[in-house]
Structure 1
Amino acid sequence: MTAVALVLLAADFVTKQIALTHFSGSDPTEALGGLLRFTLVFNSGGAFSIGEGEAWFFTTVKIVVVVAMLVVSPRIRTPVWAVSFGLVIAGAAGNLVDRLFRAPSPLQGRVVDWIQLPHWPVFNLADCGVVCGSALVMWASMRGIRLNGTRESDAPAEAGATERTAEGRDR
């Protein structure tokens, strides 16, 4: 989990610095025949620019998410949960760093977004981490994989469940 988080956090930081140096909001750089654009945007809201101007809210949510996941993380005993937590923590922390240290002020900073696909809002690697990590969480949850690596189907049956089933059949 720590390795995934550190790699993504470093990649997010480095790519944002490159974006700040080489890209602009008024003159996007195209790649892959226009499928991908590099457009510099400073986002004061959340995903899809929802809640613009409410940076304090997103800062608070990111702090709560990171702290909660770090508190729960010692219970992780399986790679899928370690990777998913690493991605979400790094993604939240990457954008949290922007909120804390970028203009206009601490806790109100704007997130540096720079990747754009057709018909999609501009985003960054931290956003990718949150989305991919959340998708892994949903996948693991739907598969019944617990943090400790066991599956819900492996759990012992609830006491009395067999008896209730047999009673129901006899009625």
Structure 2
Amino acid sequence: MPTPDVDNEPVNTEQQPDPSDTEEPQQTAPSRRTVGVLVLVAALAYAVDVVTKVVVTATLEGEEPVRILGGAVYLQLLRNPYAAFGMDIGGTWILTVVATAVVIGIVWFARRLRSTGWAIGLGLVLAGALGNLTDRIFRAPAVFQGHVVDFISVFGPNGEFFPVFNAADSAITIGAGLIVLLTLLGRDYDGTVIPRGRRAKETDGEPDTNGKERPEA
């Protein structure tokens, strides 16, 4: 009886996927890490804002501006009913609503993050929004209409050269600037990197079929 020729039978060399190996952990792990970075940055920056405001209100109430760093910075207590850096964009309650919307928006968006840089930037913006929102809610003259504590005046007292600001304003500015920089560099919030050639084509208004590239690290 002839024996079957087993050598001629096709052999499936493809590795079968493990049913227990799914992509979900690979996607959620970076998300947890970046969310952790966001929370840590936000907590630290918020703590700095709260502590500095407590110290300033306890020591500079009714005092003359304190000159430091050779006159580059003056510390003085001002209570600001307006937006960051003294910008008047409407009633105090409107600013409270805007700050609340920013906080909710960042918290909702955080689960999409895969970029550490974006997490740091949004964490700073979140801390700044929370810091000034805390003043709006709990400080005089009324709930949700409180005046924000500002105390940093640069190059002169009383905001002569630049509006008086606080640590929360600084956090918002630095965080927003970092996000703009990352966007210009083609680094998206999900951790992908837009190739330079594609960015150039998009700037010129030309469609491009290239996809995003994952960063190596």
Q: How does the TM-score come out when normalised to structure 2?
A: 0.69
Equivalent pairs, count: 158
> For residues 18-167 of structure 1, what are the structure 2 equivalents within 5 Å?
18-24=55-61, 27-51=64-88, 54-118=91-155, 119-153=161-195
Residue 52 (structure 1) shift: 7.3
Percent identity at matched positions?
37
CA contact (8 A) 1:75 1:148 kept: yes
**Alpha-carbon separation, structure 2, partners of 1:9 and 1:59:** 17
CA contact (8 A) 2:85 2:169 kept: no
Name the aligned partner's letter for residue 128 of structure 1. Answer: S
Structure 1: unaligned runs, 5 residues or longer: 163-171
Q: 1:161 to 1:123 in 2, by over 3 A?
A: closer
Q: Secondary structure of 2:74's partner?
A: strand
**Alpha-carbon separation, structure 2, partners of 1:42 and 1:89:** 21
Higher Cα radius of gyration? 2
Name the aligned partner's letter for residue 69 of structure 1. Answer: I
Q: 1:132 to 1:25 in 2, by over 3 A?
A: farther
Q: 1:150 to 1:104 in 2, by over 3 A?
A: same
Q: With a CA cutoff of 8 Å and minimum separation of 6, indicate the structure with the bigger relative contact order.
A: 1
Structure 2: unaligned runs, 5 residues or longer: 1-37, 156-160, 199-206, 210-217
**Alpha-carbon separation, structure 2, partners of 1:74 and 1:46:** 28
Structure (1/2) with the larger helix percentage: 1
Residue 50 (structure 1) shift: 2.3
